[in-house]
A and B are shown apart, each in its own frame.
Chain A
């Protein structure tokens, strides 16, 4: 499958500051790809470079096979961008905002009204369509900004901190809409965020960034495996197993360590594929297993481990 976004050794320098420093990544069609990093990591600059708003200092970028620096207008016809602040015309109504951007996107006059109303309805704003945006809550503004980014049905959507400044309820609502776009509509999304929970919930793959560089990239599982090649499994027994079971387990292939006592054990294994063998071995030894729980690493664990390594 041809990648929608291909970035190679991308650099963007502002004076002495390397905002983007040798980034290489790609985004597949239908994928939700996260750029994850602290403020100033270079996420927003990357979004600008990919849309032809800024030219790169060096390296290459292709979006739909086009060079955004020289064919920015054609790239932007196929992308929608939700900026960090909603950037809406507050003195105009929600409908006027959408109709304006729909015109710029080339939606014909005959389809413009129905398209704008369809988007307002999808984002639950149809009742307030003619109200000035300055009367909207933050969450409503963010939904309207998302509607604006999608007004021309772009195959690629950029979301820059989509829930920044929203209360938990509004953030959950916006995240739900994004999840629907990604999973139900098969929309390709590039999500730039420092919100780890949001990224974990929404992204298929993430690139963890700091100071313009990608520290690691992959799915949650891939990143966890890279960082922690061994897996811990918590095993709970109905009754404490006999003494000799511990010794026999320690010698089992793929088992690195066994700790704990009584009904609660912690077993370190080389990979998740070893876990069924461990369970079989224990059952064969007559142990009554109540619960087997391989420890999951969250994106938060991964993120902070990577950022700590960087420091």
Chain B
């Protein structure tokens, strides 16, 4: 395995995707909304509107907390209504939104790399290069996965800083991240980045344009929305155990999809699509 070639392919793909504004535009806007705008709104609003209004708005808070598993409910013990609201919203309700990022980053780069290269008619020259099929596959996959994980982590870091600064007047200390966020960042986020790219590789053999690939692979976001709805309806809460179990399931799915992708990624299949 020639790692110099693999990194060259990954770097080249990233250079190319940087020039594709349609690809990276949403990838910049979405983290800005979730990591900066939303936490500021959620933490600042309870601090500026009258307490009575907060109580009216959060009338169901008690009932919601009663449905929480005991381990999570303990987080809210001894907290004021405003603090409970901020913890609930920033610590739990926004958490699944951050899972959109690894999926989105990896599907954007993956679509540009696997389908965009074919669409721009540059694939044939690459296939004539003295690399193996596996080196090509790894180069293109790493171009999608590594930035997806790193950019997601950067978004988490910004979010942690913004939440703590914005809620400092309310809490008087640094309280975030909650325990749930560690497996979310280091277990589930890489799994979703890999899921995004492996699904994109499989989809890439069936579509002709970057936009088709991006739209189809981005539909994986439905999985994440399932978690949002689960939490909002009280069916599922993202505790440490739950995140670990979801992570295991996604990694199993990853292994299966990567196996299929590698088997289908070969020069003769790629050239047939040109």
Contact = CB atoms under 8 A, between A and B. Distances in A.
Indicate whether A and B interact: yes
Contacts of A76: 128-130
Contact of A91 (B16, B124, B129): B16
Given A53-B128, A73-B132, A89-B120, 16 more contacts: A52-B267, A53-B267, A53-B271, A87-B124, A88-B122, A90-B120, A91-B19, A100-B8, A100-B12, A101-B129, A103-B4, A104-B129, A105-B129, A105-B130, A106-B2, A106-B130
Interface string A143-185: 0010010001000000000000000000000000000000000
Nearest to A108: B4
Interface in A102-129: 103-106
B12 A89 contact: yes
A156 to B, nearest CB: 12
Interface stretch (A58-66, A77-85, A210-218): A77-85
B123 interface: yes
- Size class of the contact patch on chain A: 20 to 34
Contacts of B126: 87
B79 interface: no
Nearest to A109: B4
A81 B128 contact: yes
A140 to B, nearest CB: 16
A83 B124 contact: yes
A79 B129 CA distance: 9
A88 B123 CA distance: 9
B20 to A, nearest CB: 8
A66 to B, nearest CB: 12
A89 B122 CA distance: 6
A22 interface: no
B125 interface: yes
Contacts, number: 73
A104 B120 contact: no
A87 B267 contact: no
Interface of B: 2, 4-5, 8-9, 12, 15-16, 19-20, 120-132, 267-268, 271
A51 B5 contact: no
B125 A145 contact: yes
A29 interface: no
Nearest to A74: B130
A55 B124 contact: no
B130 A73 contact: yes
A282 interface: no
A90 B125 CA distance: 13
Contacts of A264: none
B133 to A, nearest CB: 9
Nearest to B19: A91
A54 B20 CA distance: 31
B267 A72 contact: yes
Contacts of B128: 51, 53, 76, 79, 81, 83
A198 interface: no
A60 to B, nearest CB: 18
B2, B5, B16, B128: residue with the most chain A Cβ atoms closer than 10 Å: B128
B8 A87 contact: no
Contact of B271 (A54, A103, A148): A54
Contacts of B129: 76, 101, 104-105
B121 A85 contact: yes
Given A76-B130, A91-B19, A148 B4 contact: no
6 contacts: A53-B271, A73-B130, A83-B125, A85-B124, A100-B12, A106-B4
A178 to B, nearest CB: 18
A283 interface: no
Contacts of B12: 89, 92, 96, 100
